[in-house]
Structure 1
Amino acid sequence: MSSADKILVIGPSWVGDMVLAQSLFKQLKSVQPACQIDVAAPAWTLPLLARMPEVSQAIALPFKHGQLALRERWQFGRSLMAQHYTQAILLTNSLKSAILPWAAGIPLRTGFKGELRYGLVNDMRPLDKSQLKQTVERFVALGLKPRTALPTVLPQPALVAEAANAKRLQHAFKLDAFKPILGLCPGAEYGEAKRWPAEYYAQVANQALETGWQVLLFGSEKDKPVTASIQQLTQQRCVDLAGQTSLGDAIDLMSMCQRVISNDSGLMHVAAALNKKLVAIYGSSDPKHTPPMHPDAVIAYLGLTCSPCFKRVCPLGHLNCLRQLTPDQVLPSLALSSIKPAP
């Protein structure tokens, strides 16, 4: 690689995966600090990429999720030829994602062996899942030369919140600057088998509120039923942010939290990348596959014989992997009493 290398990364479509992709960006910069990293990804990821100092430019892809649009992808790729990228790294394994860098005439196109991508990807890497067990390991591996061992310690994602926007949001949501904040992330896009019961979140919230904390409920529009349930069980004393914030606003608000509890979700990875004291709750998924990338994160996982099943809904109907993980088991990790409101 030369000092003038320009790298185009075809990014993933999930919040958590995009956070983990920052480990790749950091790895690339550690080897070649002067390289330019541009990321092409769905438009909603742009606020996330804007908080990654390693990314020079975020390019919004105009395609709908799952849309093949082969002609449009080829045309979009041709529009990038003037950028003179020296390498493309594909973090997705689909055929359609390989069309854009090929059409852009990028000479080195790196990716794992995927569906019918021969020729489109000319630096094809085999994916040995027994060796690269974690998503973040697979991303970082694509930034290394073939057959190169992974670093002993992988670069840790580190988002940089926008302080001015955080201050604006503090006023907008009437947050007390002198009280510590507990962030709760009770949603999970994948399904209910990844969601700790709302009543458990409410028990933790009530404990925090009674200790003098403020509690923020993070989530998307789809999480409103869950956050509304928590609000009902806490006498409307939390700040319900579900559907009220953009992704960028959610990141900046979370940067103000002293503690965060989250299901295995994109916001869990955001909290870890913001260096928050985090308790990550796992049910149907596997913490060995997509753990939060922070050495101090606490993983709450029972590891029952039926876990992980990777199902959206508990196939046995009992959801014991989450229901048997009680608030009493989680609260000690938060150490709420270690931080007191200012007098």
Structure 2
Amino acid sequence: MVMAQTLFIRLHQLHPGLELDVLAPDWTIPLLSRMPEVREAISNPFRHGEFKLGARYRLGQSLRARGYDQTIVLPNSWKSALVPFFAGIPVRSGYRGEMRWGLLNDRRKLDKNKLPLMVERFVALADAPDSTLRLPLPQPALSVDDHRRLATLTKLGLTAGANIAALCVGAEYGPAKRWPPQHFAELGKKLRQQGCQVWLVGSAKDAEAGAEAARLSGGACIDLCGKTSLDEAVDLLASASIVVSNDSGLMHVAAALDKPLIALYGSSSPGFTPPLSQKAHIVSLHLPCSPCFKRECPLGHLNCLVKLTPQQVLDEITVALDKEDHG
């Protein structure tokens, strides 16, 4: 969803006065509410894999009266193209995907070599077919309301400050994308010794990793994993001086907040979905066995992340903050 904002920005550049609505899952709405390019976020109530043809038909019919000119369908699934079809939107654009003949009438053939990045594939849908992608691409930029941000900190018993490190300990995809909790703990202790507040940020699914890192840090880290909504997590990252993150959704959020960012890569690669920010520092050991793109290490050792030491990451933090201080 963060990468989709790049498409939204490009659409506004191409069509001044555009009114842009986005049909998306409920959990993404806190992100969409921070994108000034979006007029309205419309709830997509269907969970992954759910068919519910009748409900999709009724949702599409309810959107007919809005008179949309065009829809751009980003997912490649057959089901994702049903609601725009039922809504009778005249131009329905997207990549060929799963047997979508008829559902999409502006079906594009994807050249993966020409458009290696996901964000490039999104933005290319804003232009006419076979157009040359115009560079540079706009960068995502989530908005922040300072009053709401400070209210979030107060609610969580936190204080704003000049030296705050947010450590994002989770990664939805699997263990092979997660730096070990003991490394986060050791980094947290080093940062605390340098006078930083250290916050562990993540969803409820990251609670175990957050609790382990907090325990091993001996109180140096404040564990906030599972204690915030997504909206509040964005406020936490917006309050940070530096963010250290696995390759995860929060990594992309930090990039869209223009925060100095240390992005840790193990089994995955920045070659498809890199953080879209000039302030992102990508850290990888580039071992012969990585990237393997597996959820769990097929060799059983996870050396691509285990051997990435807290001191190496601390050194990258020093470089990132020095660049920030000197413009």
Q: TM-score, normalised by structure 1?
A: 0.91
1:127 and 1:305 map into 2 onto residues whose CA distance is 29
Match of 1:110 in 2: 93
Match of 1:15 in 2: none
Q: How does 1:29-178 map to 2 (within 5 A)?
A: 29-178=12-161
Deviation at 1:278, TM superposition (A): 0.1
1:109 counterpart SS class: strand
Amino-acid identity (%): 51
1:303 and 2:286 aligned: yes
Deviation at 1:313, TM superposition (A): 0.3
Please identify, of 44-53 and 320-329, the stretch whose mean Cα deviation from structure 2 is larger.
Answer: 320-329
2:176 and 2:54 map into 1 onto residues whose CA distance is 38
Match of 1:284 in 2: 267
CA displacement, residues 262-295 of structure 1 (integer Å, 9 cap, x when unaligned): 0000000000000000000011111111100002
2:20 counterpart SS class: strand
Please identify, of 168-177 and 245-254, the stretch whose mean Cα deviation from structure 2 is larger.
Answer: 168-177
Residue 149 and residue 183 in structure 1: after superposition, are their counterparts in 2 closer, same or farther (change >3 A)? same
CA displacement, residues 4-60 of structure 1 (integer Å, 9 cap, x when unaligned): xxxxxxxxxxxxxx0000000000011112111100010111111000000000001
1:56 and 1:144 map into 2 onto residues whose CA distance is 21
1:80 and 1:237 map into 2 onto residues whose CA distance is 51
Match of 1:7 in 2: none
Match of 1:247 in 2: 230
1:51 and 1:259 map into 2 onto residues whose CA distance is 21
Tell me the matched-pair count. Answer: 322
Deviation at 1:128, TM superposition (A): 1.2
Unaligned runs of 5+ in 1: 1-17
- Check the 8 A contact 2:185/2:221 in 1, yes or no: no
Deviation at 1:258, TM superposition (A): 0.5
CA displacement, residues 226-246 of structure 1 (integer Å, 9 cap, x when unaligned): 011111111233221111111
2:200 and 2:90 map into 1 onto residues whose CA distance is 46
CA displacement, residues 101-131 of structure 1 (integer Å, 9 cap, x when unaligned): 0100000000001111001000000011111
CA displacement, residues 75-121 of structure 1 (integer Å, 9 cap, x when unaligned): 11111001100000000001101010010000000000111100100
Match of 1:224 in 2: 207
Match of 1:317 in 2: 300
Please identify, of 244-253 and 273-282, the stretch whose mean Cα deviation from structure 2 is larger.
Answer: 244-253
Match of 1:14 in 2: none
2:300 and 2:74 map into 1 onto residues whose CA distance is 35
> Relative contact order (C-alpha < 8 Å, sep 6+): which is higher?
1
Letter of the 1:170 partner, please give it: L
Letter of the 1:271 partner, please give it: A
2:284 and 2:56 map into 1 onto residues whose CA distance is 41
1:96 and 1:71 map into 2 onto residues whose CA distance is 12
Match of 1:328 in 2: 311
